[in-house]
Structure 1
């Protein structure tokens, strides 16, 4: 058996893993990142949209080689067909080519000093005296043992690293959004606007999205949280109305219940989908994951330098990421629970109200008049405003 020793081992080389490795390496510790697939970035596992804040967090400039379109806003389609246009703000950003972006981010980590091993599946944790101190993995058929002071689990929604370390990560089917997405050619949409469609017949307890990638190419997907028919059923139903051709299909799940109860233990940190670092109402995870992963890399490096990788020291990671994104994720989870109770009629009424208002300056009088006619929307509108 091959035996290796590193300060920090990162399991998973998507945005969470690569960001953790990048910032740990920048702090001048020895880092090894392991990826179970033979190619970083494939298959694509999201709609590929990001805000500009993502690159500010990474401290890198967006590169044209992975930018597919620049987004100015979004069109939100109510069940009755009413369309609300939203300009700028959180809807402004970029649609990326994640196959290129993820690999570039991993390359940045490598340039900063991280070692990377692809086609390497972690099979077990090394635990001694209740502390995680490395991993056992299979690399091209060979078993390897990698000792480490800190392990960062960035191994996605199917993560078993945190579970092996004794952390509670199991989510119920109701806490997972089931998703299906086609990349399609010949989609007739404005290349600078995202499209979102809501309704029980379109996507029960979820929505359909179209993220344009330029030249008539777009990601068309659906996410649902409802027993019965599959997301692919709703996706095929939706795209049957489009004069477009699919060239790629991806199916997966997104955790939308908020972060797991605890994201650290002795010798281990958890980031990304594995930690529930996903916006519960939108299902978007790139920005919160990158924010948390950067903190994980920095805290892991600090713990190595201070020769203290105990749970008591590593809890700083959770304290810091909660300060950065914890409030937003909690608030979003609350909104999602409220939105779950809305009927198509409620959504149509809300869309009609918003359509006739300046969204940035809705008056309290107008809101009171609206909720007076729609009392079941009072709590949601009160929280938002």
Structure 2
């Protein structure tokens, strides 16, 4: 069995890479370990409109649950800030439907798909990845390929087998637990975020509306003592709502891995750490980077050069296009890590009274004079 490209993982990263490689005429196979694409859900399901621009698709009511206009942000003492438009705009997806839809779109332009298929090993010749060994329904298959794209999540076995250092540790992961709940009282067009070391140390609680009183209620934490699930149970204990689904997983929040390519192979999505460290959001970043991977695979095969020297272009391009944003996001996450609950409350009260688009230097100087402990933070931001 021989393909131009084999993609491992059929979520957003895998399907996007497959879609753009197949559109240009490559012979592509995408394999997925689960028997159904899109399940289990391991995501809060929010994304920005840029995702659809990247995919060259129009958002569809088939998989868009709610259109988001802004967000409400709560400090530990309940101080409430409101964000309207801009970065806070976007959509809540039904990932079970959206992921499968994206795979279907890829199949329509020529991608072959095999579900319930697991990678056992990589095929190498002269140190170069040139395919993989997989098991499918009890059968072992050798699948040769000019390029392998690993989109198999934070525990990417494919990237590790290729010798890339993509391993995550407890300190680089945010542990997450989420209920889908029925009977949640909310504005269906606004996200809710709750910060505080008591409710979500090293992270935050989210309430993302899906319409008709249904919402994703989740928590992401970095804690050595308690699980994300225990914080979720505590937060939802007094909510008059019923959970109908529980999802638990991890999100890489340390920024991208150092190297996302080698001879014959590229890594995308969570496997590459292509997630915003501050928010933990990754759909739009993954789609962007995966499209680049698919297009670089096309160029590599057209030029008959799938060496690391050529595939390095993938990393150069995604760093040029999204690298700065990811660095900024990591900086803000590290700043937030330094704040105590009381400092979060003070900062929230100040920001609540400001026009975030045009905070004056005078107001910032006045704030720092009153609270000199924020001087270092201000220098880091500026």
What interval of TM-score do these two structures reach, taking the shorter chain for normalisation? over 0.9
Alignment partner, residue 338 of structure 1: 335
CA separation in 2, counterparts of 1:69 and 1:111? Answer: 27
Counterpart position of 2:308: 311
Shift of 1:69: 0.5
For 1:287-298, list aligned pairs within 5 A. 287-298=284-295
- Which residue of structure 2 aligns with residue 195 of structure 1? 192
Asked whether the equivalents of residues 155 and 167 of structure 2 are also in contact (C-alpha less than 8 Å), the reply is no
Match of 1:116 among 113, 117, 140: 113
> SS at 2:357's partner residue?
helix
* Partner in structure 2 of residue 140 of structure 1: 137
Matches for 1:1-385 after TM superposition, within 5 Å: 4-384=1-381
1:302 positional shift: 1.1
Question: Where in structure 2 are there 5+ consecutive unaligned residues?
Answer: none
Superposed CA RMSD: 0.8
Task: Output the CA distance in 2 between the equivalents of 1:356 and 1:128.
Answer: 63
Q: Is the 8 A contact 1:174 1:226 kept in 2?
A: no
**Alpha-carbon distance between aligned partners in 1 of 2:375 and 2:53, rounded to the nearest angstrom:** 37
Q: Within 1, Cα distance between the matches of 2:163 and 2:19?
A: 27
Name the CA distance, whole Å, in 1 between partners of 2:250 and 2:276.
14
In structure 1, runs of 5+ residues without a counterpart are: none
SS at match of 1:79: coil
Verify the 8 A CA contact 1:335 1:380 in the aligned structure 2: no
Q: Tell me, what secondary structure is at the counterpart of 1:173?
A: coil
State how far apart, in whole Å, the 1-side matches of 2:91 and 2:4 are.
35
Per-residue deviation, residues 269-324 of structure 1 (Å, max 9, x unmatched): 00000000000000000011000000000001110111100000000000000011
Instruction: Give 1:383 deviation, angstroms.
Output: 4.2
The count of corresponding residues between Structure 1 and Structure 2 is 382
Q: Deviations over 1:229-265 (max 9, x none)?
A: 1000000000012100000000000000000010000
Which is further off, 366-375 or 113-122? 366-375
TM-score, normalised via structure 1 length = 0.98
